[in-house]
Amino acid sequence: MSAETTSPWTASVLTLYPEMFPGPLGLSLAGRALGEGVWRLEAVDIRDHAHDRHRSVDDAPAGGGPGMVMKADVVAEALDAALRPDDPRPRLLMSPRGRPLTQARVRALAAGPGVVVVCGRFEGVDERVIEARGLEEVSVGDVVLSGGEPAAIVLIDAVVRLLPGVMGKAESGMSESFEDDLLEYPHYTRPREWEGRAIPEVLLSGDHGRIARWRRAEAERITRERRPDLWAAYGARAANDE
Ligand code: SAH
């Protein structure tokens, strides 16, 4: 029997702020699915694994400099406690140094058993725990957040909406931005005219072939204008497919 049928997709989040969870993940699509048991969320308080008198989780950086560093022993103990025996889930550390999160990675995570996510705070975590526990650093963009929690919420939200039974229409996950290296075409809804702006005539034509061609052309135009990196990948893939 596959893991998916025995236990739902499970995110274990290690954080100094467990009260930030489920947070936004408790509302809307993700929240309803959480309530229905489609996925599980466990917030582990890293501070519960500090053992000195002051329950300290951080200390001054070796070599000097500003800020504080999360202690290797405390983070490792929290991680070891959160992992089940032979836990197959990827162990991620949210980090601006990490590999940028992509929709392809999100899809791969959604197909697996879940994730274990460590949220950094302060200047980050002691390098030795990253090495010793094989943590994979993942970034949500070239910005610096004050903590890994909002990044973990971004990652989990993106994965959960792809789990079977979470989104209304099965296909609504397929024609979206990034699925084929293209950004999405523009959307319109009623009224037909608003502030002197009309819905493009082709969308009202009822001609599904024309509509599909127009949407593809618009997706290509927007991608070319906004994301030369994606446009190059799209061109290379089209050349390969020929
Ligand atoms: N001193 C670090 C930044 C620390 S920010 C540096 O210069 O790289 C504190 C924590 O926020 C990090 O440990 C990480 O867990 C989280 N974080 C900040 N920016 C992030 C990003 N773009 N993606 C993922 N996590 C991020």
**Ligand 1 pocket residue status of 155, Cβ below 6 Å:** no
Q: How many domains does the chain have?
A: 2
CATH code assigned at 41: 3.40.1280.10
CATH code assigned at 200: 1.10.1270.20
Q: Is 195 part of any domain?
A: yes
The parent domain of residue 139 ranges over 7-160
Q: Which residue, among 120, 112, 69, has the nearest Cα to 93 in the 3D structure?
A: 120
**Ligand 1 pocket residue status of 137, Cβ below 6 Å:** no
Q: Is 32 part of any domain?
A: yes
Asked which of 36-45, 129-138, 151-160, 171-180 is least confident by mean pLDDT, the reply is 171-180
**Ligand 1 pocket residue status of 49, Cβ below 6 Å:** no
CA of 146 to the centre of ligand 1 (A): 7
**Cβ contacts of 29-36, under 8 Å, gap ≥ 24:** 29/160, 29/161, 29/166, 29/167, 30/156, 30/157, 30/160, 30/161, 30/166, 33/160, 33/163, 33/165, 33/166, 34/160, 36/165
pTM metric for this prediction: 0.95
Q: Is 37 part of any domain?
A: yes
**Ligand 1 pocket residue status of 15, Cβ below 6 Å:** no
Domain-terminating residue out of 160, 191, 207:
160
Distance separating alpha carbons of residues 210 and 223, to the nearest angstrom: 20
Domain-terminating residue out of 135, 160, 185:
160
DSSP state of 125: B
Q: Is 165 part of any domain?
A: no
Q: Is 235 part of any domain?
A: yes
Q: Which residue, among 122, 118, 167, 127, has the nearest Cα to 144 in the 3D structure?
A: 122
Of 144, 149, 155, 157, best ligand 1 pocket probe by most atoms within 8 Å of the beta carbon: 144
**Ligand 1 pocket residue status of 121, Cβ below 6 Å:** yes
Is the Cβ–Cβ distance between 106 and 179 less than 8 Å?
Answer: no
pLDDT by residue (tens digit) across 191-242?
999 999 999 999 999 999 999 999 999 999 999 999 999 999 999 988 988 7
CA of 78 to the centre of ligand 1 (A): 19
Atom of ligand 1 nearest to the CA of 124: 13
pLDDT by residue (tens digit) across 64-80?
999 999 999 999 999 99
Q: Which residue, among 93, 180, 87, 76, has the nearest Cα to 133 in the 3D structure?
A: 76
pLDDT score at 176:
84
Q: Is 112 part of any domain?
A: yes
